[in-house]
Structure 1
Amino acid sequence: MSRAVQLAGPLATPKMLAALGLTAEGPPETVLGTLIGGQRAGIDAEDWPVLRSDGGAVPVLRAVPTRELRFYADVMGLPAVDHPDGQIRGVRSGQNEAAPWSDQDWPDDLAAAIAREIVSLQDLLPAAQIAARLPMIAVWAESRLRAAEGPRSGGTLVPPRMGDDLRLIERRQPYAGFFAVDVWDLSHRTHAGGFTPAITREGFVMGDAVVVLPWDPVRDRLLVIEQFRVGPALRHDPQPWLLEPIAGRIDAGESVEDAARREALEEADLRLGRLFPAVHHYPSPGAVTEFLYLYLGIADLPDGSAGVNGLDAEVEDIRGHLIDRSDLSAMVRDGQITNGPLAMLSLWLDRQHRDLMKELSTS
């Protein structure tokens, strides 16, 4: 029988215990010390609280380690730490000058969702490969949390579905790089009330993204960006440099609107004012997990405000273009805009223009 280990900090919280299949043996105890930092523990592998043995009392729980805990610790690079009161898991040794760790400020829902995703992969991928993908796994885990919050597609027209309407037979992940491919053998309930035979479906796994089109309502002009896209290039499209809105992945622990503002700075060196939500949607739900949050962003766009930007670390080469709203509308009508979110936002702005101007004039 495995000996119980001491768990501290994030690993001793109820949601993490559940995610890792752990059961506390007895009430909490304490060990001498203080937990410092670690407010992104379980999201960033490097940011676990440091245990200082310098006064104070740290609550710990005893639990028999599970296979899930061992695998999770391997992915996070989180060995047990020696302490005068015995070895402790869930903390690091060393120095940290941050504020004391507190479960009140720590995103336990997200950390537990990431833990569940890691555990679900333990028979599919080695720990080192999962560790290398941890930032994207965190993005994906939070995307699933947003999906669970709704709103539900179809409104009242499509009846709610229960969990037993989908039967997952087997899951595989034959590719896992920046993005991943999931293969599911499944059966689902039919509209007639029975179930389909076993079928295989493949999904391109990528987390949620935000899309924002900057609009200057005074000049009635917009800023669009131009960059190379591998999808059209693979299709042998003779023009793989597309006109697009600003867009990017929503980082784990980041709000959707904060992501929109960050991407505007990175891709266009532009600070946005008010954000108006437009049409949030799945662009290609037959095979792609991505969900797009579309926004119109109020901006000041004088002449000369479009340049070449992008992050060097991501080898981004992005050129901005200022374009009158009427000219963009004409390009959409003429089929010159092949980026779906840009066409959708242009059409949405034309439809909402009068109401937006009225709202802006009174705010």
Structure 2
Amino acid sequence: MPALFFYGTLRHLPLLETVVGHSLDGIALSEAGLPGYEIRWAKGQAFPLILPKDGSSAIGLLAEGLSDEDVARLDYYERVFGYDLIWVDLEQDGQMRRVQMFWPPESSYEAGPEFILSDWAATWGTTNCAAAKEVLLHRGQKTPEEVGAIYRMIHTRAAAQVLAQQETPVLGPSGRGLADLEVLSESYPYANFFALKEMQLRYRRFDGSMCPVVDRAAFMGSDAALVLPYDPVRDRVLLIEQFRMGPLARGDHGPWQLEPIAGRVDPGETPEACARREAAEEAGLDLKALKEIHLGYPSPGCDSEFFHIYLGLADLPDAATQIGGLASEQEDIKTHLMPLDRALEMLDTGQIRVTPLALALHWLARNRESLRRGA
């Protein structure tokens, strides 16, 4: 196989190993340059641009010794983003060499500052490795173009995995953790906006033995931030109402539900920043402060979603009600202002059926007086 030149994120060796599916032992790696080009950040994005520049040279990584299967995996991964394998002339040690590289599609992204691989790796390296792992699991089931259409959600799911890895471990009374199970295989039989992940695994029973191989599946969501806006001076809350697919799929008479403000935590975003962003997008609110209510799983038996639930202290005058949401996401959201006592009455009479909202209201009822005194 000819040598391959990488100018962008595949210079990050953990990502390159993830894509080819093995360590780089036996692969010769060296530095080379593509004359007449430079590498810059795509402004506001998690990847670089390669741009013409006279007198410059785009320095990258040259890999020799890759197998046909390695190149096939790399080609699948790069075509997810619209890249094509082409021939180029590189400069290395004063000599010109004919090699291959993956060339990006035309784009309208604005160029940012010089692309520094270590800066990218510090922010995006672990997330992109997790995303690449899922991308390659779709090989043989989806075309690169189909995976490209859902890559935003793949990246979001990967970011949730990174958040989980960064948390201080919270173990049950038995102390069992990842060391007490063995994953034998994993696949994605369905993936679109959401995904279904199947695993074959074994785990340690409470008697110390390992169970037989079992098949398990989980709905793959993402981390989400949920916030209940509360005005401690007026003693009122803001709830939102919108159409929800879950109740409809169950056959509920009321697919429109009252909820807290909520949204997915985007890659590179903190849950707190997500809560503030969603409050602005869904209800036009500028929150004064966030107070953590609970961090946890809504349904751990079958769902990977993880909720970061907050109380958002806010000014909620009568004019705070509106119809909002992002048109780009087909959101149609109506806000409702109500005294806290009214919301608690609705909870007691079963009119509130969204569990995170119930949890937040119970927390608020318990902490109401101290919050009002503080205000």
Q: TM-score, normalised by structure 2?
A: 0.86
Is 2:211 the counterpart of 1:181? no
The correspondence of residues 94-133 of structure 1 with structure 2, limited to 5 A, is 97-99=110-112, 100-106=114-120, 107-133=124-150
Write the letter of the residue equivalent to 1:31: L
**Which residue of 164, 167, 176 corresponds with 1:147?**
164
Tell me which residue corresponds to 1:161: 177
Task: Give the root-mean-square deviation of aligned CA atoms.
Answer: 2.4
Q: Which runs of 5+ in 2 are unaligned?
A: 91-97
Tell me which residue corresponds to 1:235: 250
**Which residue of 24, 28, 31 corresponds with 1:25?**
28
Q: Quote the Cα distance in structure 2 between the aligned partners of 1:175 and 1:105.
A: 34
Q: CA deviation at 1:129?
A: 2.1
Secondary structure at the aligned position of 2:162 is classed as helix
Secondary structure at the aligned position of 2:169 is classed as coil
The correspondence of residues 258-269 of structure 1 with structure 2, limited to 5 A, is 258-269=273-284
Q: Call closer, same or farther: CA 1:94–1:133 in 2, change over 3 Å.
A: closer
Secondary structure at the aligned position of 2:319 is classed as coil
Tell me which residue corresponds to 1:13: 12
Q: Quote the Cα distance in structure 2 between the aligned partners of 1:90 and 1:103.
A: 17
Which deviations, in whole Å up to 9, do the C-alpha atoms of 1:24-65 show, x marking residues without a partner? 624423333311233676x5xxx5412324233332211144
Q: Percent identity?
A: 34
Contact kept? 1:39, 1:49, Cα under 8 Å: no
Secondary structure at the aligned position of 1:335 is classed as coil
Which deviations, in whole Å up to 9, do the C-alpha atoms of 1:223-244 show, x marking residues without a partner? 0001111221222222221110
Write the letter of the residue equivalent to 1:56: S
Write the letter of the residue equivalent to 1:38: A
Q: Quote the Cα distance in structure 2 between the aligned partners of 1:168 and 1:322.
A: 48
Question: Which deviates the most, 75-84 or 137-146?
Answer: 75-84
Q: Call closer, same or farther: CA 1:220–1:329 in 2, change over 3 Å.
A: same
Write the letter of the residue equivalent to 1:130: V
Is 2:273 the counterpart of 1:274? no
Q: Which runs of 5+ in 1 are unaligned?
A: none
Q: Call closer, same or farther: CA 1:303–1:31 in 2, change over 3 Å.
A: same
Q: TM-score, normalised by structure 1?
A: 0.88
Aligned length: 353
Q: CA deviation at 1:355?
A: 4.1
Q: CA deviation at 1:344?
A: 0.5
Secondary structure at the aligned position of 2:61 is classed as strand
Write the letter of the residue equivalent to 1:4: A
Secondary structure at the aligned position of 2:42 is classed as coil
Contact kept? 1:251, 1:259, Cα under 8 Å: yes
Write the letter of the residue equivalent to 2:355: G
Q: Quote the Cα distance in structure 1 between the aligned partners of 2:103 and 2:275.
A: 33
Secondary structure at the aligned position of 2:28 is classed as coil
Q: Quote the Cα distance in structure 1 between the aligned partners of 2:101 and 2:288.
A: 45
Q: CA deviation at 1:158?
A: 3.7
Tell me which residue corresponds to 2:75: 70
Write the letter of the residue equivalent to 1:15: P
Question: Which deviates the most, 214-223 or 76-85?
Answer: 76-85
Tell me which residue corresponds to 1:312: 327
Q: CA deviation at 1:198?
A: 2.3
